[in-house]
Amino acid sequence: MTPQARIQAAIELLDAIIASARDGGPAADTLIARYFKDRRYAGSRDRRAVRDHVYRAIRRAAERPEDGRAAMVGLARDLPEIAALFDGGPHAPVPIAPGEPGAPPGAVPGWLIPLLAAPVEQDALLGRAPVDLRVNALKGVPADLTALLPDADPVPGLSAARRLPEGFPIEQNPAWKQGLVEVQDAGSQLIVQACAAQPGMTVVDLCAGAGGKTLALAAAMAGKGMLIAADTIRSRLARLGPRAQRAGATFIETLLLDQSHEARGLESLNGQADIVLVDAPCSGTGTWRRNPEARWRLTPARLDRLVAEQARILDFAAPLLAPGGALVYAICALTDREGRDQVDAFLTRNAGWAVEPLDLPLGRPHGPGWLLTPGHDGTDGFFFARLRRTAS
């Protein structure tokens, strides 16, 4: 492909990504993979270049652009070398007209700015994300880990965490293939640390997804006790099985919940759990480094729905705790409505709960909980809180 044709391909892809973000369709990565499946003439360098154009345009525009051309014209305003490729030649985009509007630059959609927790450093939300690993204690720390992963740096304060440069192909590394390490953001590892799970406990990971945090809980429990991974989406839970095998975490039980009737499926656990982790569905504002297109999908109405759903999940999670047990609420989001205010509202609705103060190596206190941000901590953005059940 010529450099000009790569720009035209990026415009076509951005058209599809913008429509998909508007209509709740597939993610950008899926659309990019499909696009190239139908275009075998594109070589690996073409694919990399087009993908790079697409993601630069996505990162640059906080608000969903009108169309793919507006997104790329916006990028061309910053980069004369891109503007020069709009030359109207074969397979090239037509030249940029004088005064043609491009998508405006920005990090955070305007409506969302006042909703972000006050200490959030907005410019760092779109930075490059490293690859963080968790050394899997279930397999022991191998003596040759440094030889297997010479580029891995320790993360201060998190003994099991290692940090690799962005884009490191970890899935080809023997340490990953043997289950010696898991890919997990240091912030997620800190949330599991805040759970303080111990061998022999009964622990429920209520929004387990494909089990990233479940596997870390399993390691903290040294494979002993009862660990239940619950979710409402079968395909997500199904991905946990092979991961648990690879990690040597074979004591995990999975529980598929019926959306809107979750309490029924959880009845036998009422009053039994030492720890319940609610890693709730959220706006994902803390993960834009890895998923910048999420900004184009979030709307005020969707945020309202998420806040209501988080409150509902917290309310059916609470009865699972034994007296003295701990409910850990976590989101990879940085809006106060989903974080600080959500926990305050839970405490207002429910008597018999106390906030447990946290003292952790990364992050800072925020309201009843703890805040991690890319700018302050180099992790994804998270809010989490630990609540102790004081009365039955």
Ligand X SMILES: C[S@@+](CC[C@H](N)C(=O)[O-])C[C@H]1O[C@@H](n2cnc3c(N)ncnc32)[C@H](O)[C@@H]1O
Taking the CB of residue 319, how many other CB atoms lie within 10 A of it?
16
Residue 207 binds to ligand X (criterion: CB under 6 A)? yes
Tell the smallest beta-carbon distance from residue 168 to ligand X (Å). Answer: 20
Q: Which of 195, 207, 282, 332 is catalytic?
A: 332
| Backbone φ and ψ of 308, nearest 5° | -65, -40
Compute how many residues bind ligand X; rule: CB under 6 A.
Answer: 19
- The SS3 of residue 234 is helix
For residue 335, how far is the Cα from the chain centroid? 14
User: Any bridge partners for residue 331, and if so which?
Assistant: 383
Residue 173 binds to ligand X (criterion: CB under 6 A)? no
Q: What is the largest CA-CA distance in the chain?
A: 74
From 149-157, 202-210, 299-307, 362-370, span contacting ligand X (CB under 6 A): 202-210
- Give dist(CA 330, CA 217) in Å, integer: 14
Residue 232 binds to ligand X (criterion: CB under 6 A)? yes
Q: Which of 233, 263, 347, 360 binds ligand X (CB under 6 A)?
A: 233
Q: Known binder of ligand: residue 231?
A: yes
Tell the smallest beta-carbon distance from residue 138 to ligand X (Å). Answer: 17
- The SS3 of residue 316 is helix
- Give dist(CA 364, CA 352) in Å, integer: 26
Residue 51 binds to ligand X (criterion: CB under 6 A)? no
Residue 57 binds to ligand X (criterion: CB under 6 A)? no
Q: Known binder of ligand: residue 46?
A: no
Q: Which of 3, 26, 127, 209 binds ligand X (CB under 6 A)?
A: 209
Choice between 152 and 332, CB closer to ligand X: 332
From 60-68, 138-146, 230-238, 378-386, span contacting ligand X (CB under 6 A): 230-238
- Give dist(CA 18, CA 222) in Å, integer: 45
- The SS3 of residue 133 is strand
Residue 231 binds to ligand X (criterion: CB under 6 A)? yes
- Confirm whether 282 is a catalytic residue: no
**Got the DSSP string for 81-147?**
HHHTT----TTSPPPPPTT---PPP-SS-GGGGGGB-TT--GGGGGS---EEEEE-GGG---TTHHH
C-alpha to C-alpha distances, 160 to 136, 181, 219, 370, nearest whole angstrom: 8, 9, 11, 20
From 140-148, 227-235, 266-274, 340-348, span contacting ligand X (CB under 6 A): 227-235
Residue 116 binds to ligand X (criterion: CB under 6 A)? no
Residue 249 binds to ligand X (criterion: CB under 6 A)? no
Residue 235 binds to ligand X (criterion: CB under 6 A)? no
Tell the smallest beta-carbon distance from residue 45 to ligand X (Å). Answer: 33
- Give dist(CA 226, CA 119) in Å, integer: 38
From 24-32, 65-73, 154-162, 204-212, span contacting ligand X (CB under 6 A): 204-212
Tell the smallest beta-carbon distance from residue 331 to ligand X (Å). Answer: 7
First to last CA, the chain: 67
Q: Which of 179, 281, 363, 374 binds ligand X (CB under 6 A)?
A: 281
Residue 208 binds to ligand X (criterion: CB under 6 A)? yes
Tally of residues, the chain: 392
Residue 259 binds to ligand X (criterion: CB under 6 A)? yes
- Give dist(CA 97, CA 289) in Å, integer: 32
- Touching ligand X, residues 285-344 (CB under 6 A): 313
Choice between 1 and 278, CB closer to ligand X: 278
- Give dist(CA 306, CA 304) in Å, integer: 5
From 158-166, 195-203, 208-216, 345-353, span contacting ligand X (CB under 6 A): 208-216
- The SS3 of residue 244 is helix
Q: Known binder of ligand: residue 258?
A: yes
- The SS3 of residue 201 is coil
Q: What single letter denotes the amino acid at residue 117?
A: A
Annotated binding site for S-adenosyl-L-methionine: 231, 258, 279
Q: Give the interface with ligand X as residue ranges (CB under 6 A).
A: 188, 206-210, 212-213, 230-233, 236, 257, 259, 262, 279, 281, 313
